[in-house]
Each structure stands twice: as C-alpha cells, then as structure tokens.
C-alpha cells in the first residue's frame, strides 16, 4: 500500500468519526424525557401585550371621564348621557376577544372577535348606566384585552344604524318561526330566504322611494308572486304558497335608494 493510499484511508476514517459525533450527542435513554423546545411566547414580556392593545385602541380617549380599561378582563361601568357612541375593543396575547355590554338592568349584548386589530361597534344609547367588559380568551395567562367608548363622529355609521333599526322595528314584534331579511339598494336587487315549502304570510315594507316593483320565486325558479308595484310607507301583507324550498325576493325601486324589510310567517302546510 502506498503512503498516498494510507493517507486517504486515514482521512476517510477521520471524516466518518466527525459525522458520527453529532449523532452520539443526540441520544437519550428511554427513561429520560427530552427537554421541551423553548417557545417564543415564554420570553414575551406581558407589558408587550399591553403596549399592543394600547396601540390598537389608539390610546385612552381624549378628555376626562370617558371610560377606558385594559387587563386580562377589562371592565368599566359608567352613567353615560344619551347619544351615539363607538365601543372599541382589542386584545393581544390571546386567540379571541369576548365583549359584553349591559344597558342598565337589561340583558347583556355580546360579541366575539378574533384577536388582531381593534373592532368598533356603533352604539345608540338612550342614557343611563352602561357596563362593558372585554375578555382575552384562549391564549396566554398574560393576554391583555382593552375596551373604550367615545362619541361617534362617523355619519355613515349613523345612517347605516338608522337603516337597520328601521328594518327591525317596522316589523316588530318578531314572530316565532319567522324568516326575516332586509336590503338597501338604488338598483334592482334580490334576497333569498331559506324557508321550507308551505303556506306563509308575507309582511313587506319599504321606504326611501315612492314605490318598488316586487316579485318572488322559489329557489328552483317557480313563480310564487308575480311582479307588482308596492307603495312604500306602509306594511303590506300577502298570503303566499311556497311550493318548493327557498324564496327569492326581487325588488326594484322607483328612483332613489330603496330600503326593504320583509319576513315570511308560517301559517301551515296549506292546500296539497
């Protein structure tokens, strides 16, 4: 064997030994559990979550006496004057954010959001005691939530709220088993209700335009109500027989923007 061949064999053995050494260092006995891998969240300072929530909420509201709170569960109660407000909530270090609002001694209104950016809800308050609570859910124990309320300055939110409130109130009180919907459009539009076959009382109201053209078909295309002109400003009632599942309402305003509110109230199976 030449000296050159011997050197090559020696280098190969050294290389093999170097490759085996890291593998030997990774061994552990079955009785010894491996050390858990460190996670990034363990090293996060809880103050970082608080700073993130403060950023999302754009800091405390301007002016004194306006409710603002942060914490794992952020809560405040205040006696607030009547008016339109924005209730804004945010969270960090958790998966979801739960928000509850109680007006006086009424039942709580609740929202559930994924954490991320702040979410704002338009509130029309009639005056009196208001309690809000925001809770960071399904995350680290150091997760932080925040909630504040301040006067609304967005006119479009006020207009949208007025439309939805009208659509709800014009057909109040609600009826058990009803199928309800609403729409707003300055052009022909349609809306589907997932009602099963049967006999129904259609309640329909519109505003914002003098009249609207209304027709209804079932989801398979069968005519349920032939097109007719409906005057706005009053609630009409029409007896309908829905032969197949689903009702598709088609509406077209007579100029301007039409707002529509409608529901199907079941009366029974009807004639066979």
Q: Are 212 and 206 in contact, with CB atoms under 8 Å apart?
A: yes
Determine the Cα angle at 223 with ends 219 and 229, to 5°: 115
Distance CA 110, CA 154 (A): 23
How remote is the C-alpha of 259 from its chain's centroid? 23
Read off the pTM.
0.51
pLDDT at 268: 66
Domains and CATH numbers, the chain: 46-153 (2.60.120.380), 157-268 (2.60.120.380)
**Tens-of-pLDDT digits for all 272 residues of the chain?**
544 444 444 444 444 443 434 433 333 333 444 444 333 344 467 789 999 999 999 877 666 567 889 999 999 999 999 988 989 999 999 988 989 989 888 778 887 778 888 988 888 888 999 999 999 988 777 889 999 999 988 887 777 777 788 888 999 888 889 999 888 888 898 888 989 999 999 999 999 899 999 999 998 889 999 999 999 999 999 999 999 999 999 999 998 888 999 999 999 654 44
Nearest in space to 158 (alpha carbons), one of 212, 103, 83, 233: 83
pLDDT at 62: 64
Distance CA 82, CA 102 (A): 15
């Amino acid at each position: 064997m030449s000296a050159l061949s011997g050197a090559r064999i020696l280098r190969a053995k050294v290389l093999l030994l170097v490759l085996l050494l890291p593998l030997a260092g990774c061994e552990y006995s079955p009785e010894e559990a491996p050390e858990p891998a460190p996670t990034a969240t363990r090293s996060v300072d809880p103050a970082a979550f608080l700073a993130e929530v403060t950023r999302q909420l754009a800091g405390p509201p301007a002016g004194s006496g306006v409710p603002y709170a942060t914490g794992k569960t952020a809560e405040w109660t205040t006696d607030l004057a009547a008016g339109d407000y924005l209730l804004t909530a945010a969270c960090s270090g958790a998966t979801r954010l739960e928000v509850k609002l109680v007006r006086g001694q009424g039942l709580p209104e609740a929202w559930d959001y994924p954490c991320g950016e702040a979410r704002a809800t338009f509130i029309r308050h009639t005056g009196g005691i208001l309690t809000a609570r925001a809770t960071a859910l399904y995350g680290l124990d150091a997760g932080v939530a925040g909630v504040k309320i301040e006067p609304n300055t967005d006119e479009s939110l006020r207009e949208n709220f007025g439309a939805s409130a009208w659509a709800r109130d014009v057909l109040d009180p609600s009826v058990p088993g009803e199928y309800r919907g609403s729409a707003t459009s300055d052009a022909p539009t349609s809306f589907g209700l997932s009602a099963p076959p049967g006999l129904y009382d259609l309640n329909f109201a519109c505003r914002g335009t003098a009249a609207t053209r209304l027709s209804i078909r079932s989801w398979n295309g069968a005519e349920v109500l032939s097109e007719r002109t409906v005057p706005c400003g009053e609630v009409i009632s029409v007896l309908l027989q829905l032969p197949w599942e689903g009702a598709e309402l088609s509406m077209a305003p007579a100029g301007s923007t039409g707002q529509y509110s409608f529901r199907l109230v079941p009366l029974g199976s009807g004639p066979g």
